């Protein structure tokens, strides 16, 4: 699934006259950007990656056994799976705002959109670093501003 999507985007870029691109990805988007760079390593299409809150290996989610069942679950159950990972009890105002944002985004997704995102997160896959070693990578740390006092 990830490989076929990358191949589609590889030809789409070429059709639009793009030789190499800079890709930004956050969370799952960052993982998919790395997979695209990996899939196109023999005919490089990615000039650089900018990653934020991303990952390079889905085994960290320890959910590979559930990946195939997401397509059978109704949307409310999928939403409950995602919402179950949010903090319980009192949280600071910034965390509450972030949770509210995520709940709003979650409500806008239908069953197939939720199932596809959860499946991509939970399929056992990883980025092969030797295939993207020539791609410049910038990592954005969203917690840096908290660490430096919000400057």
- Give yes or no: residues 115 and 129 share one domain: no
- Give yes or no: residues 36 and 80 share one domain: no
- Give yes or no: residues 104 and 85 share one domain: yes
Residue 34, domain extent? 1-57+125-142
Specify whether the CB–CB gap between 140 and 51 falls below 8 A.
yes
On the question of pLDDT at 14 being above 70, the answer is no
- Give yes or no: residues 70 and 114 share one domain: yes
Determine the distance from the C-alpha atom of residue 80 to the mean position of all C-alpha atoms in its chain, rounded to a whole number: 19
Q: Quick check: is 12 in a domain?
A: yes
pTM higher than the cut 0.75: no
Q: Quick check: is 148 in a domain?
A: no
On the question of pLDDT at 13 being above 60, the answer is no
Q: What CA–CA distance (Å, rounded) separates 129 from 62?
A: 21
- Give yes or no: residues 2 and 49 share one domain: yes
Place of tokens 């430096």: 148
- Give yes or no: residues 95 and 72 share one domain: yes
> Which tens digits make up the pLDDT trace of 40-65?
999 999 999 999 989 999 887 766 66
- Give yes or no: residues 119 and 71 share one domain: yes
Choose between 130 and 124: higher pLDDT.
130
Place of tokens 């959860």: 118
């Amino acid at each position: 699934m990830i490989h076929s999507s990358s191949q589609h985007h590889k030809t789409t870029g070429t059709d639009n006259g793009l030789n190499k691109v800079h890709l930004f990805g956050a969370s799952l988007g960052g993982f998919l950007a790395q997979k695209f760079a990996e899939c196109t390593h023999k005919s490089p299409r990615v000039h650089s990656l900018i990653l934020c809150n991303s990952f390079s290996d889905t085994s960290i989610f320890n959910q590979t056994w559930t990946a195939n069942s997401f397509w059978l679950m109704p949307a409310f159950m999928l939403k409950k799976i995602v919402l179950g990972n949010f903090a319980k009890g009192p949280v600071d105002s910034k965390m509450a705002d972030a949770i509210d944002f995520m709940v709003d985004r979650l409500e806008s997704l239908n069953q197939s959109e939720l199932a596809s995102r959860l499946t991509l997160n939970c399929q056992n896959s990883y980025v092969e670093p030797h295939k993207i070693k020539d791609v410049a990578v910038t990592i954005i740390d969203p917690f840096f501003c908290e660490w430096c006092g919000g400057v």
